[in-house]
Structure 1
Amino acid sequence: MLNLKSIHHIAMICSDYPVSKKFYTEILGLEIIREVYRAERNSYKLDLALNGKYIIELFSFPDPPERVSQPEATGLRHLAFEVEDLEKAIEELNSKNVQTEPIRTDEFTRKRFTFFADPDGLPLELYEIELT
C-alpha cells in the first residue's frame, strides 16, 4: 500500500501566461508562493496556494497544443473548489466578467455546484459545502 496522504499539487499549462496569472491570482484569489522564469525552456512556473496550502503549478510554454475540452475528453475533467456561499461566489465571478453555468444539484449528495472556465477553457467548478 502506498499510504498516500493527500494531493500535493495540480500542474496546468496555460496559453497566455499574464492572462492566466491574473485570472488565478486576482479573480480566484490564489496566493503566489514563487514565480520562476526558466530561460532554457522559455517558460514560467508559478506556484500558487489556497488558504496557505500549495495546490497549483501554473506553467507557460511556447505554443502549447490546445486542450480538447468539449465534448468530454480523456484526461483531467475539471478542478473543483469548495465554497460556503455559492450565490456569493457566483456574483463575485460574474462581477469580474467570468460567466458561470446555471446552478445544479448533485443527485447523490444533494450539494449545489456550478461550472465556469479559466482563460484556456479548463472547466472549473464551485462546490458548495455546509458551514460547520
Structure 2
Amino acid sequence: MNLLKIHHVAIICSDFQKSKDFYVRILGLTPKNEVYRVERDSYKLDLEVNGDYQIELFSFPDPPGRPSYPEAAGLRHLAFEVGEIEQAVHYLIEQKVKVEAIRVDPLTNKKFTFFADPDGLPIELYERG
C-alpha cells in the first residue's frame, strides 16, 4: 500500500447552518460543493482548506452524541497549522469563540491551543514557527 495523503476529514454536525457559518465565516474555509440529499434528509458541504485538503461537513437528523474530550477513544481532535498563533487566537476571540490559553509543546517548542466547533469537536491551532 502507498498512501499519498489524507484525502478528507468528515464531520457530522447537529445544526448544519450554525456549523456551516462557523467553518466558512469564522474559520475561513472555502465552500466547494453543497448538496441536499432528500433520501437521507442530509446536507453535505465540501470545504477547502487553503486550496488543498478537504473537509466534508454532514448533517443528519438527530445524530447521536459522541464523547469529544481528548481522552475519549476515537478521533482526538482536528488540527490546523497557522503562521501566527497569537493573531489567530485574537481573531477567534473577536468572533466570540472561547479559546484555551496558548501553550508550548515541550517536545517541539511550538505554540498551540484548542477551541471547539459548535458541537464541541476539539480543534487545535498549531503554530508553524
| Distance in 2 separating the partners of 1:54 and 1:72 | 26
Which residue of 2 is the match for residue 93 of structure 1?
Answer: 92
Q: Against the structure 1 CA distance between its residues 116 and 42, is the aligned structure 2 distance closer, same or farther, given a 3 Å change threshold?
A: same
List gaps (5 residues or longer) in structure 2. none
Query: Which 10-residue stretch deviates more, 68-77 or 9-18?
Result: 68-77
Matches within 5 A, 1:30-69: 30-69=29-68
| Distance in 2 separating the partners of 1:93 and 1:21 | 16
Matches within 5 A, 1:1-132: 2-70=1-69, 72-130=71-129
| Distance in 2 separating the partners of 1:43 and 1:69 | 22
| Distance in 1 separating the partners of 2:100 and 2:57 | 24
List gaps (5 residues or longer) in structure 1. none
Aligned residues of 1:47 and 1:54 also touching (Cα < 8 A): no
| Distance in 2 separating the partners of 1:65 and 1:49 | 26
| Distance in 1 separating the partners of 2:70 and 2:19 | 23
Q: Percent identity?
A: 64
Q: Deviations over 1:56-96 (max 9, x none)?
A: 00000000001112362111100000001000000000000
SS at match of 1:88: helix
| Distance in 1 separating the partners of 2:48 and 2:70 | 30
- Number of residue pairs aligned between Structure 1 and Structure 2: 129
Instruction: Let me know the Cα RMSD of the aligned residues.
Output: 0.9
Quote the offset at 1:55 in angstroms. Answer: 1.6
Give the TM-score normalised by structure 2.
0.97
Q: Against the structure 1 CA distance between its residues 20 and 34, is the aligned structure 2 distance closer, same or farther, given a 3 Å change threshold?
A: same
